[in-house]
Structure 1
């Protein structure tokens, strides 16, 4: 395996702590590396050092001559006056970038809802982040470093990005290093894992599931030191083996060893006991949404948007019939703007229905963990100890009674931090304190809106462990697929302003969305964009419209759009085959002229097919634009 980049004897020290001490790592052709570790342990610093954007205090980074490296940094800043077009494709002529299957795939996958000629300054933070990612992925790199690339991507976007990265290079070429807290994504794209902890980088074979197994083995060997972490990771491994059929089929860790480790591990949740406790706390009635709907008036002159009723109203939700049961654990899926937050607002009482009604049980007490930290601003000068001291002195978790301090410790707060002012906590610590304050209020219905923000993989596991023993009704909105599958027992989706049950879970939702997009002729527009489906389909000025806008009508239009989508998929496949053929050329015995001739013939056939497909693609695009 050819060497791409290496870091030798790296040391990085800040005034208050040492981040790395004598660390040596290497990246070779074909490496797909996921980086995990606690927040603050140096994951982002590692990527910046490898990319040459930050200098270590000692040691050196070397890169193979001619290697090209691209990096997505969390602090990437694009010029505000630049347009999306300039940021992504530069000054290349349209026929050049539009004829590139990879660029078309990136545009459709990340920017389908955006106006290609909009300036960067007019975009939200999440949209700017997606433009930065698109600009990186639309270019050729031997080595790609990604720091939290799934931020601001919905479930579809994360799935698209994983698929894109898996087919971006052939099996033994290119290199990828990715830092993310999205564990499903880690398992999909990484073939090895680096854990950053205690000044070192510890390598593991395989993706996240394999890393969990090896870490359990490591923790077992050091049980006296890490008994708490051992138990938590055993529970995580038990869920991976028992509760996620899609993962158990992957040969990413030794099944026999995993089964032996979890032989005496109880199920992740005692569903019967939790259900019984939930009924005793809530009674039989929780919250019933009865034919509920929400519409908003559209201001004068703002008509024509998808989902707008003839009477000048925008329909957010319609005909919602949902009887929430005691002990129900439900995940809610949907693109941004689909109405998920409005749905949660109906359940919590923060939003009033404009049609139908919402009926609340007499004993219902709702707690909401939202995406904002506004409630902590009023207590920013108070110490953590003082804040939790205002609540109850004991809290029951399952069969255990814990003090608030013990709960904080369970959520990763060391004792020393009890005296820290709230304003001095990190983003992840504030998020955990926010969750604790919600739980200390002892709600029996808990609503979590994107609870994974600012949390690393260890803290996510700790939070999930706490929620496993929480006896109440749990409703979760999250783009973190792993979390949804881990803490909920069923999933619903907000689609076309209605609520739809998903017996097949996240996979069924992604299939429905693919079918919707294929049927509407918008290709992959909107996938991963974090926008409502209507925005991707109706915006003729969007990026998808720049390459596949339509003025044809009826069956002719649908046929052209269907053919365009099929050609796009085939072009991506042909491009992948061409790259594989070039790799075969490089690895083939150069003295075998007959074999080289066969490879050349095969390559010429693929290139001819690619040229023919691109010509047809451009012809269809011109028809649709006309």
Structure 2
């Protein structure tokens, strides 16, 4: 593969803190890289350096002369005085850009609901983000770098972006680097993962699931990680193995390796025990909405947001809500919490119900801005019971990623992700028995999300989660419902996949037309046509033969690897480090051979449809 760009000995420091310390890495043709790490560990800094948007304190970034880099920053970069159309396609007439099916598809996927003639400054934050993403994607770039591209995208938008990036180039052409906390997205599009931590970058083969497995194995062999972190990673692995059906299509060798690590790990949560505890705390009645209707403009004749919907929450129920933007997900939480009175129908609440809502705003912490993190929690209580386990305030704060030093940080000095974590902690220590979370993954990194999920696993109460993060929804809720923008609430026995199918069917049956965005549905038609054409039967037969051959080779390599590990253990005990170095080189060669075969396996598997 041809080299596109790279960084040599990159170092960056802020005040007394070193963010990157002598990092060397490169991006090749065909690379599909996801970047993960804790908030503040340098992911965005590294991306800006590689995109040539900033300069390191030492080291250098080089690129091949003809390489064109496209970069999406987290901040707004569009000229607010331009109209949406001009911001995206410049001075091109509609007929000029509309002849290009790729541009039509991008317009339909990202900005079909945005007023083409509105000024950019009049758009919402989410609309500006989608306009900037559309502008970037219609351009021709050799390398695309996206910093949190899934922010402000709904479940449908995230799925569209994943499809686009997977099909944008041939397998050995182009490259992209993505920073995101959306773990489904990482698993869907990436073949490599970079973990940024402690000033260095560790590369892993595969998407998020493969990264979690490899990191657990790395930590196990090095024996340097605390038991708490090991348990969290193993629990995450247990979910990856036992979770949604789509996630079990991983290669056999990945599944067998995961099984070996998680064979003694219990299910993420004991649903029967939690339901029993929840019933004891809540009684039989929780929250009901009966035949509720609500107009968008509060009963003044506007569009109907809800039309005669009924929703009954049971003790210990774990419900996930998905829906198109503007369909009323946040409003539904406010109805359940009694903050809004419906135009018709009624709300019923059990006598023992204590609700708590995690909103999308973090202004709720303004009243404690001068307090330290630990003081905020201790002001509520000094000890807490979570899932039958007793925690001190310090232990609970530490479980959600606040180190001893961070516990004494004033709230006003916390980052966005840290404020979000404290916001959730403050709700939990109030011991509600009905918890409603509105987009809880905003500003949280993947490690923190795993810690939050671990806390929620042991929380005995009724849980309602609104999120575009399908990984989180499948992980912490037991069933999902959808708001499709037609005033109705629909159950989703098939989960998020069923929601996407419903939306695709709805879009296929309608034509986007009129005075807004001049997109006529060509992108959808093009996507449907592309899906209709696939590999021939002869190609499928060849792919099946390839899979069988590779699996035999991998089985043989697994046996060789096990023998080599045993030899290395004996060599270590004998103290023969020269021999150990030679055996380590053999192990690396073996690993490289396995990685190449695994990639070939994945390519053949994709040809057969996963």
For the superposition of Structure 1 and Structure 2, which TM-score range results when normalised by the shorter chain? 0.7 to 0.9
Counterpart-to-counterpart distance in 2, 1:225 and 1:158 = 33
2:323 matched to which residue of 1?
Answer: 334
Deviation at 1:418, TM superposition (A): 2.2
CA contact (8 A) 1:21 1:200 kept: yes
Other structure's SS at 2:405 match: helix
2:375 matched to which residue of 1?
Answer: 386
2:265 matched to which residue of 1?
Answer: 265
Counterpart-to-counterpart distance in 2, 1:92 and 1:313 = 37
Structure 2 CA distance for partners of 1:111 and 1:267, relative to 1, 3 Å: same
Deviation at 1:568, TM superposition (A): 6.5
Counterpart-to-counterpart distance in 2, 1:292 and 1:388 = 37
Deviation at 1:51, TM superposition (A): 0.7
- Give a deviation string over 1:526-571, Cα, whole Å, max 9, x none: xxxxxxxxxxxxx72222xx132xxxxxxxxxxxx7x995356448
1:520 and 2:492 matched: no
Counterpart-to-counterpart distance in 2, 1:565 and 1:469 = 43
- Give a deviation string over 1:215-255, Cα, whole Å, max 9, x none: 11112124453322111010000000001210111329621
2:401 pairs with one of 412, 433, 439: 412
1:472 matched to which residue of 2?
Answer: 461
Deviation at 1:80, TM superposition (A): 1.3
* Alignment RMSD (CA, Å): 1.9
Higher relative contact order, structure no. (Cα contacts within 8 Å, ≥ 6 residues apart): 1
2:154 matched to which residue of 1?
Answer: 154
1:498 pairs with one of 484, 488, 501: 488
CA contact (8 A) 2:374 2:397 kept: no
Counterpart-to-counterpart distance in 1, 2:4 and 2:379 = 55
Other structure's SS at 1:471 match: coil
Structure 2 CA distance for partners of 1:135 and 1:313, relative to 1, 3 Å: closer
- 5 Å-filtered alignment, 1:22-171, equals 22-171=22-171
1:622 matched to which residue of 2?
Answer: none
Counterpart-to-counterpart distance in 2, 1:313 and 1:32 = 46
1:357 pairs with one of 346, 362, 385: 346
Counterpart-to-counterpart distance in 1, 2:152 and 2:523 = 28
Deviates more, 1:222-231 or 1:357-366: 222-231
1:547 and 2:537 matched: no
CA contact (8 A) 2:101 2:526 kept: no
Output the TM-score relative to the length of structure 1: 0.83
Other structure's SS at 1:55 match: coil
CA contact (8 A) 2:76 2:128 kept: no
Counterpart-to-counterpart distance in 2, 1:274 and 1:11 = 48
Structure 2 CA distance for partners of 1:10 and 1:564, relative to 1, 3 Å: closer
2:284 matched to which residue of 1?
Answer: 284
Deviates more, 1:435-444 or 1:78-87: 78-87
Aligned residue pairs: how many? 533
CA contact (8 A) 1:223 1:230 kept: no
Structure 2 CA distance for partners of 1:297 and 1:419, relative to 1, 3 Å: closer
Counterpart-to-counterpart distance in 2, 1:445 and 1:511 = 31
Counterpart-to-counterpart distance in 1, 2:252 and 2:105 = 29
2:419 matched to which residue of 1?
Answer: 430
Aligned structure 1 segments of 4 or more residues deviating by more than 4 angstroms: 571-574
1:459 matched to which residue of 2?
Answer: 448
CA contact (8 A) 2:382 2:393 kept: yes
Counterpart-to-counterpart distance in 2, 1:31 and 1:253 = 22
CA contact (8 A) 2:335 2:342 kept: yes
CA contact (8 A) 2:106 2:523 kept: no
Counterpart-to-counterpart distance in 2, 1:71 and 1:439 = 39
Other structure's SS at 1:8 match: strand
- 5 Å-filtered alignment, 1:206-605, equals 206-251=206-251, 254-297=254-297, 312-495=301-484, 496-522=486-512, 540-543=514-517, 546-548=518-520, 566=525, 569-570=528-529
Other structure's SS at 1:24 match: strand
Counterpart-to-counterpart distance in 2, 1:6 and 1:409 = 37
Output the TM-score relative to the length of structure 2: 0.85
Counterpart-to-counterpart distance in 2, 1:567 and 1:134 = 17
Structure 2 CA distance for partners of 1:265 and 1:15, relative to 1, 3 Å: same
Structure 2 CA distance for partners of 1:432 and 1:571, relative to 1, 3 Å: closer
Counterpart-to-counterpart distance in 2, 1:400 and 1:567 = 54
Counterpart-to-counterpart distance in 1, 2:132 and 2:25 = 27
Other structure's SS at 2:336 match: helix
CA contact (8 A) 1:193 1:204 kept: yes
Counterpart-to-counterpart distance in 1, 2:185 and 2:233 = 19
1:196 and 2:193 matched: no
- Give a deviation string over 1:397-443, Cα, whole Å, max 9, x none: 11211011111000000112222111011111111111111011100
2:550 matched to which residue of 1?
Answer: none
CA contact (8 A) 1:148 1:180 kept: yes
CA contact (8 A) 2:29 2:174 kept: yes
Counterpart-to-counterpart distance in 1, 2:41 and 2:423 = 22
Deviation at 1:573, TM superposition (A): 8.8
Structure 2 CA distance for partners of 1:53 and 1:567, relative to 1, 3 Å: closer
Counterpart-to-counterpart distance in 1, 2:184 and 2:328 = 25
Counterpart-to-counterpart distance in 1, 2:465 and 2:441 = 11
Counterpart-to-counterpart distance in 2, 1:226 and 1:179 = 27
Counterpart-to-counterpart distance in 2, 1:358 and 1:442 = 23
Counterpart-to-counterpart distance in 1, 2:532 and 2:34 = 26
Structure 2 CA distance for partners of 1:41 and 1:567, relative to 1, 3 Å: closer
Structure 2 CA distance for partners of 1:205 and 1:567, relative to 1, 3 Å: closer
Counterpart-to-counterpart distance in 1, 2:502 and 2:56 = 48
CA contact (8 A) 1:219 1:227 kept: no
CA contact (8 A) 2:109 2:523 kept: no
Deviation at 1:387, TM superposition (A): 1.7
Other structure's SS at 1:115 match: coil
CA contact (8 A) 1:101 1:572 kept: no
Other structure's SS at 2:303 match: strand
Structure 2 CA distance for partners of 1:261 and 1:296, relative to 1, 3 Å: closer
